[in-house]
Structure 1
Amino acid sequence: MTVRQVRGPAVRERVLDAAETLFHRDGIARTGVDAVIAEAGVSTATLYAHFGGKDSLVAAYLERRLARWCRVWDDAVAAATTPEDRLLAVFDALARFRDDQPATRGCAFLATAVELPGPDHPARAVVAAETAHLRDRLRSLAADLPVADPDALADDVLMAYDGTLSAFLRGAGDDAVARGRILAGIAVTAACAGRREPGGV
């Protein structure tokens, strides 16, 4: 097999692109380092020089994906014009993110968490960071709404979000994100209605 040598600063991104493609398509456990090397067109020494091994490669690919997701979500929140829309912007971000990414089996972070061999794997910290970011930001956005329990509302929105991701595993169509947003919107409307007192605004 002829290996195409890649030089310069783009080599790291080249390896990460290859890893992301293969991890999504075949799963992490089934994807060996040799497959990533062949897909990226780099030498074994190059991959190990940048990542040290497969465990660190998995963590790095998730870190890059999380950073990309956060940027897309930031843009969606910034484009929203009401507190409700800012909370539901997580679904707008999901739609945009999926449009820009290769087809996946669902949530890369949840899928990775299932496949990781033990609690000390370096990628577990990235999975935990993604979960914390989702919960903390949704709770912060929910706190801008006139609801009695912002944390509970954020949890409801997160459940609708996770359900949307699970729907893709069951072969849901392109309307899954829109339907998930509608369900989350129902939770928002109910929570806001419960906050209002008779005669109040």
Structure 2
Amino acid sequence: MSPDLAARPARERLLAAAGELFYESGIAATGVDAVLARAGVAPATMYAHFAGKDGLVAAYLEQRHEAWRRTWDEVLAGLADPVDRLLSVFDAVALYRRREGNRRGCGFLAAATELPPGHPGQRWLDADSRLLAERLRALATDAGARDPDDVADSLLLLYDGVLNRFARAATTSGLPSDDPLVRARRLAAEWVAGAIA
């Protein structure tokens, strides 16, 4: 454990350790003992903060959702042009990846394949989906799209596609020479130009 991590409160250490391990190895493959060992805390301490592993998973996803939302908010705050604001989802992904060291694709897409219906973490997967759909729809409306729902859905296809490409690259020979995020933004800009009234 790094000296910086060791100095943090136990709850923060648990979330940091869980975030690293769940993202690196997957939620199902990561046992509570591994999280406890990395965080340097006793089981009783974890159970004082979280209702078992499910509660820890939910808190990890909540923290990830809030970090993503803040990053996108930050990108939006620096943009005035309505089309740039609509395409900002790709710029926000780029910034989030630089800050978080996102090497394996989207933590939410990975978690969605692992969590059963009714899991407490599902709330944050749903919140992430709502944020994307509702914000893209609103930004498409502001940009003058003839069909804001279609624009939002199409941008989500590109967004999901690029995140899946990052996940696939982590398990194969890596990314192609052209950055899929740059390519997705360029394709989105071309498509949006034809969809704006």
* Residue 178 (structure 1) aligned to one of 177, 182, 195: 182
Counterpart residue number, 2:166: 168
RMSD: 1.8
Mapping for residues 1-201 of structure 1, pairs under 5 Å: 10-116=9-115, 118-171=116-169, 172-173=175-176, 175-192=179-196, 195=197
Mapped contact 1:106–1:166 kept (Cα < 8 A): yes
**Residue correspondences, number:** 188
Query: Which amino acid is the alignment partner of residue 38 of structure 1?
Result: A
| Aligned-partner residue type, residue 90 of structure 1 | V
Displacement after TM superposition at 1:10 (Å): 2.1
TM-score (norm 2): 0.90
Larger radius of gyration: 1
Which one-letter code corresponds to 2:64 in the other structure?
A: R
1:63 maps to a residue whose letter is E
User: Offset at 1:142?
Assistant: 0.4
SS at match of 1:64: helix
Aligned partners of 2:101, 2:40: CA distance in 1, in Å?
A: 19
C-alpha distance in 2 between matches for 1:154 and 1:133: 11
Deviation at 1:151, TM superposition (A): 1.0
Does the CA-based 8 Å contact 1:21-1:102 persist in structure 2? no
Are 1:106 and 1:168, in contact at CA under 8 Å, matched by a contact in 2?
yes
Residue aligned with 2:87, SS = helix
Identity among equivalent pairs (%): 50
CA offsets, 1:78-107, max 9 Å, x none? 111200000111111100101111334211
Letter in structure 2 aligned against 1:169: A
CA distance in 1, matches of 2:103, 2:17: 14
Length-normalised TM-score, structure 1: 0.88
**Deviation of the 1:186 alpha carbon:** 1.4
**Structure 1 contact 19–61 (Cα < 8 Å) conserved:** yes
Q: For structure 1, which runs of at least 5 residues remain unmatched after alignment? A: 196-201
Whether the aligned pair in 1 keeps the contact of 2:58 and 2:124 (CA below 8 Å) is yes
In structure 1, C-alpha distance between the alignment counterparts of 2:160 and 2:184, rounded to whole Å:
9
